[in-house]
Amino acid sequence: MILIRPKVTIGICVKNNAQTISETIKSIIKQDFPRELIELIIVDGYSEDATLSIIKRQLKNSEIRFKVFREKEGLGKARQIVVDNAEGEYIVWVDGDIILSRDFIKKHVEFMDSNPKVGIAKGKYGVLKGDEHKNLVAFLEDLEFMLNTQNEGEVNDKVLATSGCIYRVKAIRQAGGFDPLFKGVGEDMDIESRIRALGWKLCVASAVFQELRRKSWKALWNEYMWHGKGGFQLYHKNKKILISLEIFPPVLLIKKVEQSVQAYKKFRQKRAFLFTLHYFFKRVAWFFGFLSQCAKIGQHKL
C-alpha cells in the first residue's frame, strides 16, 4: 500500500486533559477532509491521568495516521517536536479542550491555499450552547474570544496564538521554529512575532471551533496566573511583544465597555455587562503571575 503524503498535520500538545480530550478527538475524527491527507502528532507532557489512553483508544479504528511522543521540558519543546516530525504543508494546532466544526480543516486549508502570503490563520470562536452556556464564567470567557475573532481578514493588533490556528510549516521553519526554552505559555506569541517580522500575513479565517471553558472563578484565576508567569519569560526575551494595548488594562477600558454592549445586543442577556469586570479579573490574575516570577528571580539573585 502506497501512503500519500499528508497535506495537514494536526498537532496536539496535551497534559492531564482526560476530562475534555474525548470530545476533541471525536471532532477530529468527524472532519470533512480526506483521511489520507491528515496525520496527527500527539505530544504528551507525561499526563498523570487517562489522557493518553483515551486518545489511543479513540484513534485506534479511525483510519487517521498518528504518532505519539512524550516530553517533560514544556510547551516550546512540545510544539517543536510536532514541527520536526510534521510531513504536512500546514499544521493545525488543536488543544486538548477544543471542539472543531466538521469543516474546520477543510476551510482552513482552502483559505491557506488561496492566500500563499499568509503564515498563520486563526479560526473563529463559536459559543457552546446548553449547560456550558449557562455557566457564568464559561459564558463570559466565550464572549471575549468570540468578539475578538468576529471579523475575518488580516490582523495587525491581535495575538492569534496557536489554539484553533493553522500555521504554514514553511513560515515556522523560516522563523527558526518554536523556542524550546519556553516551559509554559508564551511560545506562541514569541514565534508569531518572528513570523510577522518576516513579512508573513496573519489573518482570521471563517473556520469555526469552540473551547470547553473553565467553570469557576478560582480555575480562571489559576489559568491566568499561569499565563502571567509565561508572560514574564516572554518579556525578558522580547519586551516589545508585551508593550501593547492588549496587555495594559487602563487603555482597554473603553474598548471592553463597547464590547460588552455588543455582546448584550447579540445575546440579549444582562450578564453580558459583567464582561468588563471579567476581563479585569483575568488581567489582575495575569499580573500576579507575572509579579510572582519577578519575586522568584529576585530571591534567586539574593
pLDDT at 241: 62
Residue 230: CB partners within 8 Å, gap ≥ 6? 182, 184, 185, 186, 187, 289
pLDDT at 197: 94
Choice between 1 and 109, residue whose per-residue pLDDT is larger: 109
Choice between 254 and 214, residue whose per-residue pLDDT is larger: 214
pLDDT at 3: 63
Among residues 121, 99, 100, 101, the alpha carbon closest in space to that of 110 is found at 121
Average model confidence (pLDDT) across the chain: 87
pLDDT at 21: 96
- Adjacent-strand bridge partners of 203: 121, 154
- pLDDT digit string (tens) for 83-97? 999 999 999 999 999
C-alpha cell at 85: 516530525
Strand 8-14 and strand 201-211: the pairing is unpaired
- pLDDT digit string (tens) for 32-50? 999 999 999 999 999 999 9
pLDDT at 156: 83
Lowest mean pLDDT among 204-208, 267-271, 278-282: 267-271
| 3-state SS assignment for residue 26 | helix
Local structure of residue 126 (DSSP, 8 states):
P
Please tell me whether the overall predicted TM-score, pTM, comes out greater than 0.85 for this model: yes
- pLDDT digit string (tens) for 189-241? 999 999 999 999 999 999 999 998 888 999 999 999 988 888 888 777 766 66
Q: Which ranges of the chain does DSSP label H, i.e. alpha helix?
A: 21-29, 51-59, 75-85, 104-114, 131-134, 136-148, 169-174, 187-197, 217-237, 239-242, 249-267, 275-301
Q: What are the structural domain ranges in the chain?
A: 1-213, 216-302
CA angle centred on 178, ends 172 and 184, rounded to 5°: 145
Decide: 207 and 92 in contact? Cβ < 8 Å.
no
**Mean pLDDT on 168-182:** 95
Burial of 252 (0-12, 13-18, 19+ CB in 10 A): middle
Neighbour count for residue 117 (Cβ, 10 Å): 11
Neighbour count for residue 219 (Cβ, 10 Å): 11
pLDDT at 226: 87
pLDDT at 242: 57
pLDDT at 246: 47
C-alpha cell at 54: 483515551
pLDDT at 129: 66
pLDDT at 175: 97
Above 80 in pLDDT, residue 243?
Answer: no
pLDDT at 132: 53
Q: In the block, which residue shows the cell 511522543?
A: 69
**Mean pLDDT on 264-291:** 86
Superfamily of domain 1-213 in the CATH hierarchy: Spore Coat Polysaccharide Biosynthesis Protein SpsA; Chain A (3.90.550.10)
